[in-house]
Structure 1
Amino acid sequence: MDDDAEIIAEFLVESHENLDQLDRDLVELEQQPDSRERLSSIFRTIHTIKGTSGFLAFNRLEQLTHVGETLLSRLRDGEVVMTPPIAEGLLAMVDTVRVLLDVIERTGHDTDPAVDVVPVVAVIEGLLAAEPQAPAVEAPVPEPPATDLEQPEHPEHPDQPDHPDQPGQSDGWDGVERRAVVDASVRVDVDLLDDLVDLVGELVLTRNQLLQRSLGSTDAELVRASQRLDLVASELQESIMKTRMQPIGQVWSKMPRVVRDLSHQLGREVELVMEGHDTELDRSLLEAVKDPLTHLVRNSLDHGIEPPDVRRAAGKDAKGTLTLRAYHESGQVVVEIADDGSGIDPATIGAVAVERGVVTRDQLARMDGRDVLGLIFRPGFSTAAAVSNISGRGVGMDVVRTNIERIGGSVDVASEPGRGTTTRVRIPLTLAIIPALVVGEGGERYAIPQANLVELVRIEGDDLRRQVEDLAGAPVLRLRGKLLPLVSLAETLGGTALEDDALTVVVLQSDDVRFGLCVSEVHDTQEIVVKPIGRQLKGLAMYAGATIMGDGRVALILDVAGIAGTVGVGATQQESTDGRGAGADDRTALLVLEVADGRRAALPLAAVARLEEFGRDRVERSGSAEVVQYRDGILPLVRLASAIGLPDTSDQGEQISVVVHEIAGAAGAAGAAGAVGIVIDRVLDVVEVAVTASEVGRRTGVTGSAVVQDRVTDLVDLDAVVARSGVPA
């Protein structure tokens, strides 16, 4: 439904409800003509319908309600007294308005000639002129299309209803029944919705218990019934959750007025841009973020966007821009408040923080730029030179972070001095039921929200000794060219990590912080019902809540951001030691391969589409070329060792390892682009290094060589390799 259709639908629903109340009010007003409260209520209703109909260009409806509003205004001001003719005229107006609304719903406009508003308007104008017309005019009813009374059935359209203009019936053209818009929605008390969500949560818990019980059962009927319950409960949960989802535009609706008033008060010129106003999240979260978002908007105007003369002096447009943006990302709603103002100077923040005793000079010296910006969320911190009714008391940003984190969200700030500031707020879609990964440690189970889950890594044997290193006394995992901090869940919980010849790592991310959580067991993923934890545990930053598992036991929900803060994992990740000292712009991501008895070669990682393994029995021949059937197509193979002038040793073993390289724009059966499979011995690593190519080793299929991970490595010429496959580049 487009925006205009949605506005009209809401107008129709609200107007029909108001007209029902209007009928009752007019009858009571006729019995109690001195009731000014009743008169005022009737006047407001007609005034609302008139104003909206004018906005939507329903001219005849506006004309009708306008004269009715004028008559009601005189009744309210005491210029006219209620009489039976006046009551009849007003009721006729209400009936005609109702018919026009039905016409609008059916056709999208109010110009149906079957509905004539002129007689009703004439009656009310006569009442206004104190010349009431006797007899009272009844509300017009549009005539249905003429039908042959001698042929009650419609042989050509046997399913066509006899009264197409009747609400809830067909529109008289396609014979398809439809529901009137006023009957398509119902108003439900919010408390009732909250009760339904709680009941669905309990149903999900019961479903989880039954599913667990039925896993080992040999009773086929029980298994079938539990699976059916699982399906029904999931659909019911999804439907109930949708009833509580509301667009964030409801919170933003008052922002234009806030920005307008504040910009006038501060002497600023500000353009407000709002994007993603239809992004939906749970109603309870909307209430929780309303005040924090308002405070952030006020902060951007007061501390961010400069006065027009200051902006002109800095070479900027006199009018600043404040942007509100909302979108979904990784199971969360992200709300950005961005301005193109003066930005935040970390040096100023640091100086004020030391002056006010928020941090010491030694602590400040050890902070990076992100940590310094985070000081604005400390209680009592403010850079305002003077206290005003807008800011300067040091109360606000700490409350913003507290309120956002209370609902499981997070807030951080990025700023560039002179260019502007962006505050990014991340909040969950809902607080009631979330998907989670269940892990085990020390005989207990813990739930990790799936929104924070990146991947699972299992490291065994020689890989464990090669990939896990010690950096400044802390364990790190070398994962695809980066050193990922490792955190032991057992040690974080106060226990001792058990020595093992294998390591299970759950890679987690919260905002810009990514780390690996080492756990003893990984169970499964399931939807869990979030329960608040008691006051005694609220001070523990590692827990976001609790849930009840299928066997009735309680499992705590881990707070990923809280764990990162507890163990001191920073937002910046250590790069792999390869190419240390090179600028980020000079680094290239390479896939390092082993070919021909331990010799090494490297491909640009950007050229690698997929890594595959095929059984040797799947390799076939087409002419002189080796091929495999792959993804409903034919994938030509080329032996990398042979292509670069080395002896081919890839025939050892029952499987062959293949790097799939897609050639953009080339025709091929294996997908939209042509593709070639490069047969290798094995993949060694992915690294990001500054490549200093040498002419040494340059030959057909090799552009040169470089030192990668302290080994001389051939740099593969992909064009030459593709040419060997016969696939046109």
Structure 2
Amino acid sequence: MTNMDMSQYLGAFLDEATDQLKNLNELLLAAEQNQRDMGIINEIFRVAHTFKGMSATMGFDRMAALTHAMEDLLGLARSGEHLINSDDVDLLFKCLDSLTEMVDTIRGGGSDKTVETEGLLEGLHRRVHKIEEHPDGTGGTESESLELTPQEREWVQEAKVQGMSVFELHVTLDSYCLLKAARSYMVVTRMGELGELIKTQPGVEDLEREAFNQEFWVYVATHETPEKLQTVAAGISEVKSVEVRPVAFDDRGGLSIEAMTITLESEEEEEDVAEREAPEAAEVKSGQPAAAAASAAAPSAPAAAAKKSSRTVRVDIGRLDKLMNLVGELVIGRARIERLALEARIKAFDEPLSQLGRISGEIQELVTKLRMVPVSMVFDRLPRLVRDLSRQMGKEVKLEVEGRETELDRTVIDEIGDPMVHLLRNSLDHGLESPEVREKNGKPREGTITVAAYQEGNGVIIEVQDDGKGIDTAKVRAKAVERGIVSAEQAQLMTDEEAIRLILLPGFSTVDVVTDLSGRGVGMDAVKNKVESLGGQFQVYSKAGEGTRVQVRLPLTLAIVLALLIRVGEETYAISLENVEETLLVQKKEIKYVHGTPVTTVRGEILSLSDLAGILSTEVDREGIEEHPVVVVRVGRDRSRIGFIVDDFVGQQEIVIKPLGKLLQKVKGVAGATILGDGNVALILDAASL
């Protein structure tokens, strides 16, 4: 391929390579948790093979050589000669990092040859050679050890006393099976009826959630013959094949799987698979089990369907920015025309304006959606980070992710990746204790970090919470006094909340030993500065012994929303209709005071009231007014109700949210500004922060 040809396709290659690497990252994490799932191994092999072909076509030989070496290792796992383990995944992740570095280097105008890969290639070759000399996979002849919990060992011992045999059933479902959870449940139930169920792999919860590809394993203690187990399992609809292997008792009461395998697969299915997947089947080694061979071919059908149905176009974000600005001007212009037509009372404008409103509304909705992307683009990077750091620090960590589908503007998404990494590092290094310390304190050995995202008002909240030791406020105060930030007297008078805020100061750290992970004092203040540069807010909550929660509030910097216009004093304000539940007219005599807080009763429920004039420091004269307009909004994760007293309802209108300048972006309760139909500027209120 000539240089001209290569430059023509380089952009498309880099975009596709980035997608493939992201996919590979997720698949490697899944493979480590589901080592026996051949569907995942086959998919990893397919991605590596595709990446190698793309790289070679574009002339990136070093990239192609590395992926080829990865294929050699994956091929052994794919053929059943080797059961992939954490050491393999570590090595493959290092390869993934090098491939990512190459893609970034090429994107910046460099060459893949500047990235060192000799060490990785040597490591891959050594690993492959060792496995070839001593195969340890499901296709070998040596027995495999099966890890059991203490409870499962107890069940095995009882089975041994009762003279039962234990069998492993390797069940493969049809590639077109839509109800995997139901089919796996039927297999597990039938096996439980024929004996005592020891365990499943993946676990029962994962089977119920369909967190597996097409394969799963069932271990059962029974007096029945393996042929009987096989016949019953294979008789269930959409079960493609069943392999039964006897499992021996070891000296410690555990189990080891013997080499003998009994396989049952219908002739009709074999012919069907052969007809559909012949090209893929040719790549499978002769020693590969039938189920693994079928799994190797499985991705081709959905991949072909996806290729056929995928019709997407990549657009530069700068073009979307310009398009969004033009749509914003269109909305403002339409609002002014509508106002002029209303004032001039020109009836002939009604129908054209209605049509213009409908068309411009559809355009703005589409453009807004084009810019919004799910936070999963950032969250999907976190499991790998947690895995690597927890292994480095010797901690047991479970990561829980909520709200992956929550959407944010693409520009904001691009900026919050590094802050999220900082927050996760802090939780892992400073927050969570070692497994031994957690056990001593009566906690589970495994710590939990929860990352959540949800929309609230005109913004999105992202929270990172851990169940660790919390922030030692006494240590924070002592460090602040030591560094001369506050005096000893000031530190003594500080509340815990004020002490916690000290960790947000530049360079502040309570860590005595600097490591590669943290302790350099560039974490929390860097996150805070980045969030505030995006017009957001940053808060830290902590309780000693229970954990820490960091909350990041990110506003929508530019969006078109339907808003309720209200008047407070002489000024007009806007509140997004997404937050407004209803509007009321409340009689002055119906307003009571509870501990100094005004409340009223609405349909038998108590509604707290707040006067917007007081919050906004606006002077109003309501002398003699017996009826007050009230806007009822819902705020917070619990969606609690509060009523804001205003002076008048102006109406509703589509508005363009414009970000405030740096001097005004920290004003409490104000999310942005907009230009109204009459040309005047109105502030947009953020009900949640009010």
Match of 1:423 in 2: 550
Q: Is the 8 A contact 2:49 2:71 kept in 1?
A: no
2:677 aligns to what SS in structure 1?
A: coil
Return the alpha-carbon distance in structure 2 between the equivalents of residues 350 and 294 of structure 1.
Answer: 26
Higher relative contact order (CA 8 A, sep 6+): 2
Cα 1:495–1:276 shift into 2, 3 Å: closer
Q: Indicate conservation of the 8 Å contact 2:456/2:635, yes or no.
A: no
- State the alpha-carbon separation in 1 of the partners of residues 671 and 487 from structure 2: 28
What is the correspondence of 1:189-588 to structure 2 with a 5 Å cutoff? 189-215=316-342, 219-328=346-455, 332-344=459-471, 357=485, 367=495, 373-374=500-501, 376-377=503-504, 381-392=508-519, 394-428=521-555, 431-450=558-577, 453=580, 456-463=583-590, 467=592, 471=596, 476-480=597-601, 484=608, 486-489=610-613, 492-493=616-617, 495=619, 497=621, 499-501=623-625, 502-506=627-631, 511=636, 517-535=644-662, 537-538=664-665, 540-541=667-668, 543-559=670-686, 564=690
Change (3 A) 1:119 1:390: closer
Is the 1:491–1:497 Cα contact (8 Å) retained in structure 2?
Answer: no
CA distance in 2, matches of 1:346, 1:244: 42
Q: Pick closer, same or farther for the CA change 1:521–1:301 going to 2, 3 Å.
A: same
Counterpart CA distance in 1 for 2:474 and 2:348 is 70
1:306 Cα offset (Å): 0.5
Relative to 1, partners in 2 of residues 1:490 and 1:416: Cα closer, same or farther, differing over 3 Å? Answer: closer
Task: Tell me which residue corresponds to 1:708.
Answer: none
For residues 428-454 of structure 1, the C-alpha deviation after alignment (integer angstroms, 9 at most, x for no partner) is 467322343322245332223445556
Q: Given residue 675 of structure 2, which amino acid in structure 1 is its aligned partner?
A: I
Q: How far has the Cα of 1:257 moved from its partner?
A: 3.1
- C-alpha change, 1:413 and 1:539, in structure 2 (3 Å) is closer
Q: CA deviation at 1:492?
A: 3.5
* Cα distance in structure 1, aligned partners of 2:320 and 2:409: 12
Alpha-carbon spacing, 1:112–1:284, altered in 2? closer, same or farther (3 Å): farther
More moved, 43-52 vs 284-293: 43-52
- Paired residue secondary structure (1:434): strand
What CA deviation, in whole Å up to 9, does each residue of 1:160-195 have, x standing for no partner? xxxxxxxxxxx9xxxxxx996365212222222222
Cα distance between partner residues in 2 of 1:394 and 1:38: 40
Q: Distance in 1 between matches of 2:600 and 2:62?
A: 71
Runs of at least 5 residues in structure 2 that lack an aligned partner in the other structure:
1-21, 28-39, 80-117, 119-174, 177-212, 215-271, 284-303
Letter in 2 for 1:489: A
**Which residue of 2 is the match for residue 654 of structure 1?**
none
3-state SS, counterpart of residue 236 of structure 1: helix
Cα separation, 2, equivalents of 1:561 and 1:23: 54
Q: For the residues of structure 1 that align with 2:634 and 2:445, how far apart are their CA atoms? A: 40
What secondary structure is seen at the aligned counterpart in 1 of 2:651? strand
C-alpha distance after superposition, 1:302-327 (max 9, x if no partner): 22100222112112232322222334
Say if 1:281 and 1:430, in contact at 8 Å, map to a contact too: no
Show structure 1 runs of 5+ residues with no match.
Answer: 26-36, 58-76, 78-103, 122-170, 172-177, 565-729
Name the SS of the counterpart of 1:315 in structure 2: coil
Which string of whole-angstrom CA distances, capped at 9 and with x for unpartnered residues, describes residues 34-70 of structure 1? xxx465577789899999999999xxxxxxxxxxxxx
Check 1:14–1:390 CA distance in 2 against 1; reply closer, same or farther (3 A cut).
Answer: closer
Partner of 1:659: none
Corresponding position of 2:266:
none
CA-to-partner distance for each residue in 1:515-541, whole Å, 9 max, x for gaps? 765433332233321223345544645
- Classify 1:305/1:408 alpha carbon distance in 2 versus 1 (closer, same or farther; 3 Å): same
Secondary structure of 1:423's aligned partner: strand
SS at the partner of 1:439? Answer: strand
Letter in 2 for 1:548: I
Alpha-carbon contact 1:490-1:519 (below 8 Å) kept: no
Please say if residues 440 and 521 of structure 1, whose CA atoms lie closer than 8 Å, have aligned partners that are also in contact.
Answer: yes
The secondary structure found in structure 2 opposite 1:229 is helix
Provide closer, same or farther for how the CA distance between residues 460 and 538 of structure 1 changes in structure 2, counting only shifts above 3 A.
same
* Matched-pair contact (CA < 8 Å) for 2:565–2:650: yes
Q: Which structure is larger by alpha-carbon Rg, 1 or 2? A: 1
Letter in 1 for 2:426: N
Contact 1:490/1:496 (CA < 8 Å) preserved in 2? Answer: no
Give the C-alpha shift of residue 297 in structure 1: 0.9
- In the TM superposition, residue 300 of structure 1 has moved relative to its aligned partner by 0.7
Q: Which amino acid aligns with 2:351?
A: R
d(CA) in 2 for partners of 1:359, 1:248: 42
Name the CA shift for 1:425/1:542 in 2 (closer, same or farther; >3 Å). Answer: closer
Q: Which amino acid aligns with 2:383?
A: P
Alignment of 1:5-84 (within 5 A): 37=59, 39=61
**CA offsets per residue over residues 602-651 of structure 1, 9 Å max, x none?**
xxxxxxxxxxxxxxxxxxxxxxxxxxxxxxxxxxxxxxxxxxxxxxxxxx
C-alpha distance after superposition, 1:577-625 (max 9, x if no partner)? xxxxxxxxxxxxxxxxxxxxxxxxxxxxxxxxxxxxxxxxxxxxxxxxx
Q: Which amino acid in 1 is paired with 2:385?
A: V
- Find the aligned partners of 1:182 and 1:453 in 2 and give their Cα distance: 40
Q: Name the CA distance, whole Å, in 2 between partners of 1:14 and 1:238.
A: 36
Contact 2:568 2:618 survives alignment (8 Å): no
In proportion to residue count, which structure has more helix? 2
Question: Percent identity among equivalent residues?
Answer: 36
1:307/1:50 Cα in 2 relative to 1: closer, same or farther (>3 Å)? closer
Q: Is the 8 A contact 1:211 1:227 kept in 2?
A: no
Distance, in Å, in 1 between the alignment partners of 2:392 and 2:474 is: 29
Aligned residue pair count? 447
Please tell me the residue identity of whatever aligns with 1:478: V
Cα distance change on mapping 1:40 and 1:304 into 2, 3 Å: closer
Distance 2:561 2:78 in 1: 41
Please, which moves more after superposition, 304-313 or 41-50? 41-50
TM-score under structure 1 length normalisation: 0.49
- Counterparts of 1:392 and 1:432 in 2: how far apart (Å)? 39
Counterparts of 2:417 and 2:410, CA distance in 1: 11
Structure 2 distance, partners of 1:342, 1:536, is 37
User: Which residue identity does 1:316 align to in structure 2?
Assistant: K
Residue identity opposite 1:238 in structure 2: E
Q: Under a length normalisation based on structure 2, what TM-score does the superposition of the two structures give?
A: 0.52
CA contact (8 A) 2:564 2:653 kept: yes
Are the equivalent residues in 1 in contact too, given 2:457–2:576 (CA < 8 A)?
no
Q: Tell me, what secondary structure is at the counterpart of 2:356? A: helix
Q: Is the 8 A contact 1:489 1:517 kept in 2?
A: no
Amino acid aligned to 1:418: G
* Post-superposition CA distance 1:219-263 (Å, at most 9, x none): 454212222222222222222222222222221232233223333
Separation in structure 2 between the aligned mates of residue 260 and residue 266 of structure 1, nearest angstrom: 10
Contact 2:573-2:684 within 8 A present in 1 as well: yes
AA aligned to 1:212 is R
CA shift for structure 1 position 384:
3.1
- Relative to structure 1, is the Cα distance of residues 297 and 539 closer, same or farther in structure 2, using a 3 angstrom cutoff? closer
Q: Distance in 2 between matches of 1:398 and 1:511?
A: 25
Q: Tell me whether 548-557 or 318-327 shows the greater mean CA deviation.
A: 318-327
Cα distance in 2 for partners of 1:218, 1:317 equals: 72
Q: 1:199 to 1:419 in 2, by over 3 A?
A: same
